[in-house]
Amino acid sequence: MIGSFVRSREAILLAALVALVLLVETRFAGFAAPGNLTRILNDTSILIILALGQMLVILTRCIDLSLASNLALTGMVTAMLNAAMPGLPVGLLLAIAIALGLLLGAFNGLLVWKLEIPSIVVTLGTLTIYRGVIFLVSGGAWVNSHEMSAAYKALPRTELLGLPLLGWTGVAIVAAFAVGVNRTALGRAFYAVGGNPGAAIYTGIDVGRTRFWAFVISGGLAGLCGYLWVSRYAVAYTDVAGGFELDIVAACVIGGISIAGGLGTVTGAVLGALFLGTIKNALPVAGISPFWQMAISGAAIIVAVGFNARRQPGRVILKPEATR
């Protein structure tokens, strides 16, 4: 089992991540200190959570491009509710955020399941719709830090054993995924649907329904992250997390989640997100302009997908024409 891990893509990605941290550490002492690594984990938690949600969707051969818009819309709604009614308990706002996220995800899922519209078309549409709805509900106005209640802003920052609750939320979701994806029928169904939809039908799995649940779960996680994002940065506006949908896909791709479906692990998605998060945190430390980040993550995606493509498992009976 250890031998197979060493040869797996996760091990290589982990090695690359450790090498990256050590490389920065040799130039700038203190980068690999536990305190800083904790900070990176905390900073990357939202990306980790969303990458896990996206992983489920990609496993079923779909894609969800609306996650960042979903996040921004739920975040705005909680911020406006908080500003209008500061007395509302934060727990209730959190529940509203998750419920709204679930609903937005379910809308995507229903269109994919019942009407069999390709997910890329559905979520391309809802990406712009959800983003536009933010403008409609907010009128283009911002909700600023001073309008938010102290309790609203405090929750993700509260520290427990040296890690803020934001980071703990990420850890908890990772743990839940590790169990849920590997040990539950639904978790295995995501793999079955993506691995071979035809075979999945014959084993009694409803392909459409499984895809629906993938969208619902990823939507709920985006809702959760909507609250986390807005309360952490203490500001809500229409363009929150603009373009983040592709960062999420990038984290999955770097983590070895196959865009063809059915292939990928929780460890991979987490490491992929951490890899991007570490680069993001290392650039300012290394004195490199943050403007380099986009090109670096783009190059990382290309290298990662090129690397993963050579390790296709299973038998390839008829090679796809593109490889010739």
Partner 1 sequence: MSLTAEARHLPDRGSRRGARVLRSWELLLGVIAVLIFVANTQASPYFLDPWNLSDATFNITEKAMIAFAMALLIVAGEIDLSVAGIIALASTAMGWALQFDVGAVGLVAIGLGVGLVCGLFNGLLVTRLGLPSIVVTIGTMSLFRGISYIVLGDQAFNGYPSDFAWFGRGYVFWVISFELVLFAALAGIYAIVLHTTNFGRQIYAIGNNPTAATFSGIRVARVKMILFVLTGVMSGVAAICLTARLGSTRPSIAFAWELEVVTMVVLGGVSILGGAGSILGVVLAALIIGMATFGLGLLNVPGIVMSIFTGALLIAVIALPRLYRLIRTGRAA
Residues that bind partner 1 (CB under 8 A): 61-63, 65, 111, 114-122, 124-129, 131-133, 135-136, 140, 197-198, 238, 242-243, 246, 249-250, 253, 259-261, 289, 291-302, 305-306, 309, 318, 320-324
Least distance between partner 1 and beta carbon 165 (Å):
31
Strand partners, 159: 164
- Token pair for 103: 């609903």
Least distance between partner 1 and beta carbon 193 (Å):
11
Amino acid in the structure at residue 184: T
Rounded distance, CA 31 to CA 22, Å? 8
C-beta of 22 vs 201, nearer to partner 1: 201
Residues 6 or more apart in contact with residue 152 via CB below 8 angstroms: 78, 79, 82, 86, 90, 93, 231
C-beta of 32 vs 106, nearer to partner 1: 106
C-beta of 161 vs 318, nearer to partner 1: 318
Rounded distance, CA 271 to CA 258, Å? 15
E strand segments, the chain: 159-160, 163-164
Least distance between partner 1 and beta carbon 150 (Å):
31
Q: What is the CB-side half-sphere exposure of residue 156 using CA atoms within 13 A?
A: 22
C-beta of 42 vs 123, nearer to partner 1: 123
C-beta of 249 vs 271, nearer to partner 1: 249
- Provide the residue count of the chain: 324
- Dihedral angle of Cα 309, 310, 311, 315, to the nearest 10 degrees: 90
C-beta of 128 vs 182, nearer to partner 1: 128
C-beta of 200 vs 228, nearer to partner 1: 200
C-beta of 69 vs 281, nearer to partner 1: 69
- Token pair for 221: 């996680």
Contact between 25 and 197 (Cβ < 8 Å): no
- Token pair for 213: 């649940």
Helix (H) or strand (E) holding 247, with range, is helix 244-254
Least distance between partner 1 and beta carbon 131 (Å):
7
Least distance between partner 1 and beta carbon 155 (Å):
29
C-beta of 5 vs 292, nearer to partner 1: 292
Least distance between partner 1 and beta carbon 277 (Å):
15
Instruction: Measure Cα distances from 117 to 1, 104, 121 in Å.
Output: 41, 16, 7
Helix (H) or strand (E) holding 213, with range, is helix 207-233
Least distance between partner 1 and beta carbon 302 (Å):
4
Least distance between partner 1 and beta carbon 77 (Å):
16
- CA-based end-to-end distance of the chain: 35
Least distance between partner 1 and beta carbon 161 (Å):
36
Contact between 236 and 73 (Cβ < 8 Å): no
Contact between 29 and 36 (Cβ < 8 Å): no
Strand partners, 143: 236
